[in-house]
Amino acid sequence: RSGILVRLSDGKVVAEKDADAKIYPASMTKIMTAVVGLENLSDQNETITIDRDTYDRLYTEGASLAGFGAGDEVKAIDILYGVMLPSGAECCVGLAQHLFGSEENFVAKMNEKAAELGMDSTHFVTCTGLHDENHYTTAYDLYLIFQEAMKYPEFQKIVGTVSYTATYTDGSGAVKMQKWENSNRYLSGNVAAPDGVTVLGGKTGTTQAAGSCLI
Helix, strand, or coil (residue 25): coil
Q: What percent of the chain has pLDDT over 70?
A: 100
Closest-CA residue to 66 (of 45, 47, 89, 46)? 89
**Which of these ranges, 18-32, 144-158, 199-213, has the smallest mean pLDDT?**
199-213
Q: Give yes or no for a contact between 212 and 206, defined as CB atoms under 8 angstroms apart.
A: yes
Average pLDDT score over residue span 32-42: 97
Q: Give yes or no for a contact between 28 and 131, defined as CB atoms under 8 angstroms apart.
A: no
pLDDT in tens, 70-102: 999 999 999 999 999 999 999 999 999 999 999
User: How many residues are listed for the chain in this entry?
Assistant: 215
Cα(76)–Cα(22) distance, rounded to whole angstroms? 33
Check residue 59 and give its pLDDT.
87
Average pLDDT score over residue span 35-47: 97
Q: Give yes or no for a contact between 110 and 123, defined as CB atoms under 8 angstroms apart.
A: no
pLDDT in tens, 118-127: 999 999 999 9
Q: Give yes or no for a contact between 114 and 122, defined as CB atoms under 8 angstroms apart.
A: yes
207, pLDDT greater than 90: no
Average pLDDT score over residue span 24-40: 97
Cα(168)–Cα(149) distance, rounded to whole angstroms? 26
Q: Give yes or no for a contact between 97 and 39, defined as CB atoms under 8 angstroms apart.
A: no
Closest-CA residue to 111 (of 97, 130, 100, 125)? 125
Q: Which residues are catalytic?
A: 27, 30, 87
Q: Where are the beta strands (DSSP E) in the chain?
A: 3-7, 12-17, 47-49, 73-75, 163-169, 175-181, 204-207, 211-214
Check residue 119 and give its pLDDT.
98
- Tell me the pairing of strands 12-17 and 47-49: unpaired
